[in-house]
Structure 1
């Protein structure tokens, strides 16, 4: 494993100074030019794919197939944000013309979103491309016009350095200002960046403990800043009696594939499943797990030794709770070297007695089946569930219970699925990847096009001469972008 190069305080300060200069330079460039920077980054990822995938596999153990898809996703989202910059609606340009007859009178008011300034992105362990140096946080921030300083994850330092090097070269070749994308390493460097007075926001994907520590630092600064953290999520699933009758076999197969995907190291892994007690979902799932283990007894590798140790610590604590049974994978619980799937079972009553213990995330290939006896049990369990990125409902078509469960699940999660499984997060305009605390620390998404909103703030110009206004707010709309004018949405105005 490549060692981490601890970035010194002086280099951290220099990086922030360079990013501050880049922020002033980049806002003077056209939106078309900024879109071109993103496309240049996408092209350099694609052109160096074999080299980067090999580096990522060496450090993350994720395999060539998975990493090939993840790199393609990463370059695609850079291109998607380039299209967002060109289209222009992300600016939320709004014009209210003078109206002296209004109560109170309205002066000429023109509002748009502008970049915050230099931001810091903490790379994640489990997505060395998509949530790392040129991942979604970086792509959305650069699209907003905010320079990015990436704090590399210690799980893939060599890959991070190479991607940062290629990214800087691509941006230089595209004419971008120096300092638009930089990399630092080491925990102390990350802390110093969060504290730095010229850093304007932070994006983080990682553990609850680490994220909460940095969140507290960000909001306790003399000048607090936004901290967009993705921390921990159990992603509950509810299976109704109707779904058991109509599709129990498909549910078992889908659940097995979802909670073991990526060795259970996806932030959207379904970690808790509420199921009718009579369905014996845990027993059915255990049969599948045991059959797979008999055919392939090898333990898949996790991202690194630290994550594997954390998986076993949490798993042992959960399995040792009164009223929790290990129905598959007992050998995994007993061996710190094994990482095969584990299925546990308990009841709603036990969850209600110890929610803080039983509903804590297990990062790895384990899921907890919670048997319930009634609709009241389900409602009681939902009442103690922590906030999650996703919540999934499996119900029969037209089943009356679904009408109340869909809004109830929406109170606990940022994405509600009817059928299907939460692992796999599409990058699109309609996506939301966030949820109530502790899954995230904000209301904004970290995936999809509205992730750009995190790195912007509104500014209103009042009775300002047209030639002094930013182009998106000039009367003639020279960019032809969508705007709201006197309360009406105008998709394109070249008047």
Structure 2
């Protein structure tokens, strides 16, 4: 197999601590260099991985928090030890610049270490204790303790747009392992080499810290039947997914239709609307327009937080904003998209906007192969609300401006939006009265509200929420970024009159 900065591809799956081949294979499709062959997943391999994960659960779930923290830190160490090879392989497979991948690797490693520290602290267990009241009348009260416990093996689907931060060792995997759940990952076929080397790092960390073999598995490639087999396997107790609406909704429905339905934590897409209020527009509309253009084209617009819709009151100030944004977009060079499929979907999405009778094209670059140039369109509120297709995400460097006739119409439009990952308000102090009308509406629509900023760039901190009402995600009470992400893989258990001899260490507060 290919040699990549010292790393030689195995081209195999990692199933319960063993590298395993398969009869069928698929070839990677890198932006640069020759492709490599990788074993393709099968339902039989999924069954093996899930069965081993279930066998490992009892052991891993009852390891001390200190043991799990050491495992997470060891994964971070092993990823860093493979840093140059990961950057080389990831850049070749995805076309992402090396600096972006270095930053994403830093985010991934930092997230693992943050979860390790958070788990060690133990606050995530939410322990509660109501002491017995044997003399209470008319009936005594028993001693009751409660804490959070891991749900069981978790299935994770790697994302196309984040080969590190939302894939094999990304947020879903890291948070599930932190919670005490074994993980089975379905690797994304767009970057199987990156997936393999990161899986190799997890494997090395598991061996170094004495974790059970089934604590982690990676099943590469395969068709839709592999994903279906994974979410339907009886050992899987929850699913993490980052991807498109159609595929995510299909998996969500499968989870719900199981004989024993399980939670599906899916991030499915968002247009992340930005509302530019009139006084902010008058004072600094050109500045906002240029910065918005930079945000929407960052990483070829391939972020789930890409600001795809801007809402503003029509007039001369809006014209200046649009001119500034279009001018900035005209200087953005062609960028490489992550996959041929994403590039084709981007072409289709912007063609739909360009050909729509109620939409005006402001700027549209050329697209060919996996290369894309930015596009900017505009419409009015009436057309936007009348055609739901105008509010669908175009994944890539394209955005739609929606002109409204008044503040009242802006507020009315905000109330009709679907669920979003983010919503942004650009405002000055003199816009406070309008912002006060928008705020309670947008608070119900989005998981993160921004003021005078741009949504691209998600801080990995305890206070971050990366999720939102459907269709942004399938569970409005969850986040896939930040320490609260661990909560998805836990369930509360109450212990009544628990004998000391049976009491788990976590229930008593041990951290060793």
The equivalent residue for 1:12 is: 46
Q: Tell me whether 1:384 sits opposite 2:416 in the alignment.
A: yes
Q: Secondary structure at the match of 1:404?
A: helix
Q: Tell me whether 1:468 sits opposite 2:495 in the alignment.
A: no
Question: When the two structures are superposed, what TM-score results if normalisation uses the length of structure 1?
Answer: 0.92
Distance 1:283 1:396, change over 3 A: closer
The equivalent residue for 1:359 is: 391
Residue 95 of structure 1 deviates from its aligned partner by: 0.5
Which one of 455, 480, 486 corresponds to residue 489 of structure 2?
455
Q: Given that residues 286 and 320 in structure 2 are in contact (C-alpha distance below 8 angstroms), is that contact kept between their aligned partners in structure 1?
A: no
How many angstroms apart in 2 are the aligned matches of 1:143 and 1:312?
40
Which one of 91, 99, 102 corresponds to residue 65 of structure 1?
99
Q: Given that residues 381 and 404 in structure 2 are in contact (C-alpha distance below 8 angstroms), is that contact kept between their aligned partners in structure 1?
A: yes
Q: Tell me whether 1:131 sits opposite 2:166 in the alignment.
A: yes
Distance 1:103 1:309, change over 3 A: farther
The equivalent residue for 2:401 is: 369
Which one of 401, 404, 408 corresponds to residue 441 of structure 2?
408
Residue 336 of structure 1 deviates from its aligned partner by: 6.9
Which deviations, in whole Å up to 9, do the C-alpha atoms of 1:244-265 show, x marking residues without a partner?
Answer: 1222122112201111111010
Which one of 243, 257, 268 corresponds to residue 231 of structure 1?
268
How many angstroms apart in 2 are the aligned matches of 1:305 and 1:86?
43
The equivalent residue for 2:7 is: none
Q: How does 1:42-441 map to 2 (within 5 A)?
A: 42-99=76-133, 100-101=135-136, 105-185=140-220, 186-187=222-223, 188-279=225-316, 281=318, 284-290=321-327, 293=330, 295=331, 298-329=333-364, 331-332=365-366, 339-354=372-387, 356-398=388-430, 399-441=432-474
How many angstroms apart in 2 are the aligned matches of 1:337 and 1:286?
28
Residue 6 of structure 1 deviates from its aligned partner by: 1.9
Residue 120 of structure 1 deviates from its aligned partner by: 0.4
Residue 408 of structure 1 deviates from its aligned partner by: 1.3
Q: How many pairs were matched up?
A: 473
Structure 1: state its 5+ residue gaps: 481-495
How many angstroms apart in 1 are the aligned matches of 2:164 and 2:323?
33
How many angstroms apart in 1 are the aligned matches of 2:423 and 2:137?
46
After TM superposition, the structure 1 stretch with the greater mean CA deviation from structure 2, 279-288 or 443-452, is 279-288
RMSD, aligned α-carbons: 1.8
Q: Secondary structure at the match of 2:200?
A: helix
Question: When the two structures are superposed, what TM-score results if normalisation uses the length of structure 2?
Answer: 0.89
Q: Secondary structure at the match of 1:432?
A: coil
The equivalent residue for 2:25 is: none
After TM superposition, the structure 1 stretch with the greater mean CA deviation from structure 2, 67-76 or 153-162, is 153-162
Distance 1:344 1:243, change over 3 A: same
Q: Secondary structure at the match of 2:449?
A: strand
Residue 27 of structure 1 deviates from its aligned partner by: 2.3
Residue 361 of structure 1 deviates from its aligned partner by: 0.5
Which deviations, in whole Å up to 9, do the C-alpha atoms of 1:276-307 show, x marking residues without a partner?
Answer: 111454664455444553x56x4111111110
How many angstroms apart in 2 are the aligned matches of 1:364 and 1:122?
21
Q: Given that residues 424 and 450 in structure 2 are in contact (C-alpha distance below 8 angstroms), is that contact kept between their aligned partners in structure 1?
A: yes
Q: How does 1:19-30 map to 2 (within 5 A)?
A: 19-30=53-64
How many angstroms apart in 1 are the aligned matches of 2:215 and 2:369?
43
How many angstroms apart in 1 are the aligned matches of 2:180 and 2:269?
29
Q: Secondary structure at the match of 1:468?
A: coil
Residue 101 of structure 1 deviates from its aligned partner by: 3.1
Q: Given that residues 338 and 370 in structure 2 are in contact (C-alpha distance below 8 angstroms), is that contact kept between their aligned partners in structure 1?
A: no
Q: Given that residues 39 and 79 in structure 1 are in contact (C-alpha distance below 8 angstroms), is that contact kept between their aligned partners in structure 2?
A: yes
Q: Given that residues 57 and 67 in structure 1 are in contact (C-alpha distance below 8 angstroms), is that contact kept between their aligned partners in structure 2?
A: yes
Residue 445 of structure 1 deviates from its aligned partner by: 0.2
Q: Given that residues 286 and 343 in structure 1 are in contact (C-alpha distance below 8 angstroms), is that contact kept between their aligned partners in structure 2?
A: no
The equivalent residue for 1:489 is: none
Q: Secondary structure at the match of 2:214?
A: coil
